[in-house]
Amino acid sequence: MKRSQIFIFVFIALVLLLGTLVIANNSFHTQEDAPFYLDREEERVGVILKGTELSVIEEEGDWVKVNIEAWIPKGYITDDYKEEVTEETGTRLRQGFIYDNISFRDFVGMTEIIGEMTNDTGQDYSLANFLVSVYDDEGKLLATGYINMMNFEHGETKTFTGLVDINVGQVKQYRIQYESGF
């Protein structure tokens, strides 16, 4: 080998080694359950559980962009995501839950959301949690709340209520998302 080839080989080996060290030092764990967002200006989309290993790929102020390596069942992904809305079946969430007959009413200065949820997921749930997001008429997120469905068997339809800490008159749009369950 020529001296220049040896130099290039050593240089490439050092770059690869240093890159590996930087990546290895970029490994962190969540110290508690942490909310996560697809974009800082958008609504929360889920929770990263305490102790989850992740790597930081970008920092900006009090925020970090992270990568998580995880496996999920293939049935939970699609290349053509749409929430279906029909009068007959209500709104079908991609996980298979269907909500319908949604109404809002004042509850001591807060907003109570009332509706029906059907479990069409193919499995029974001891607990299923849903995030309710409410928006003004321009689509700006105003507040969020939770709906918890206990002992929710496949094929069952149940009435639910949830609270959102905002005056009912401000609610112009809403969104319900499945968050977690077992």
Q: How far apart are CA 129 and CA 154, in angstroms?
A: 15
- Asked if residue 160 and residue 95 are part of one domain, the reply reads yes
- Is 139 or 11 the better-scoring residue by pLDDT? 139
User: Is pLDDT above 70 for 166?
Assistant: yes
**Tens digits of residue pLDDT in 1-33:** 566 666 566 656 555 554 443 444 567 888 887
CATH number for the domain spanning 87: value is: 2.60.40.1620
Provide mean pLDDT across the span 162-172. Answer: 89
- Is 144 or 18 the better-scoring residue by pLDDT? 144
For the ranges 32-36, 54-58, 83-87, 175-179, the lowest mean pLDDT is seen at 83-87
Q: Is residue 165 part of a domain?
A: yes
Structure confidence at residue 24 (pLDDT) = 45
Q: Is residue 75 part of a domain?
A: no
- Asked if residue 167 and residue 121 are part of one domain, the reply reads yes
- Asked if residue 110 and residue 62 are part of one domain, the reply reads no
For the ranges 29-43, 50-64, 114-128, 149-163, the lowest mean pLDDT is seen at 29-43
Read off φ and ψ for residue 15, nearest 5 degrees. Answer: -60, -45
Q: Which residues pair with 158 in a beta bridge?
A: 117
Q: Is residue 103 part of a domain?
A: yes
| Residue after which a domain boundary falls, among 13, 34, 67 | 67
**Number of domains the chain contains:** 2
Provide mean pLDDT across the span 25-48. Answer: 76
- Asked if residue 41 and residue 127 are part of one domain, the reply reads no
Structure confidence at residue 86 (pLDDT) = 40
Q: How far apart are CA 11 and CA 46, in angstroms?
A: 43
Is 149:162 a contact under the CB 8 Å cutoff? Answer: no
- Asked if residue 90 and residue 173 are part of one domain, the reply reads yes
Structure confidence at residue 180 (pLDDT) = 92
Three-state DSSP at 74 gives helix
Q: Is residue 146 part of a domain?
A: yes
- Asked if residue 170 and residue 87 are part of one domain, the reply reads yes
The strands making up 173-181's β-sheet, listed across from edge to edge, are 84-86, 90-92, 97-107, 110-119, 157-164, 141-152, 125-135, 173-181
Is 170:125 a contact under the CB 8 Å cutoff? Answer: no
Q: Which domain holds residue 177?
A: 83-181
Structure confidence at residue 22 (pLDDT) = 43
**Tens digits of residue pLDDT in 71-129:** 777 776 666 544 443 444 578 887 899 999 998 888 888 889 999 999 999 999 999 99
Q: Is residue 130 part of a domain?
A: yes
- Asked if residue 174 and residue 91 are part of one domain, the reply reads yes
Structure confidence at residue 65 (pLDDT) = 86
Q: How far apart are CA 90 and CA 138, in angstroms?
A: 23
Q: How far apart are CA 176 and CA 34, in angstroms?
A: 20
Three-state DSSP at 10 gives helix
- Asked if residue 132 and residue 87 are part of one domain, the reply reads yes
- Asked if residue 36 and residue 61 are part of one domain, the reply reads yes
Is 129:148 a contact under the CB 8 Å cutoff? Answer: yes
129, with CB counted inside 10 A (0-12, 13-18, 19+), is: middle
Is 101:128 a contact under the CB 8 Å cutoff? Answer: no
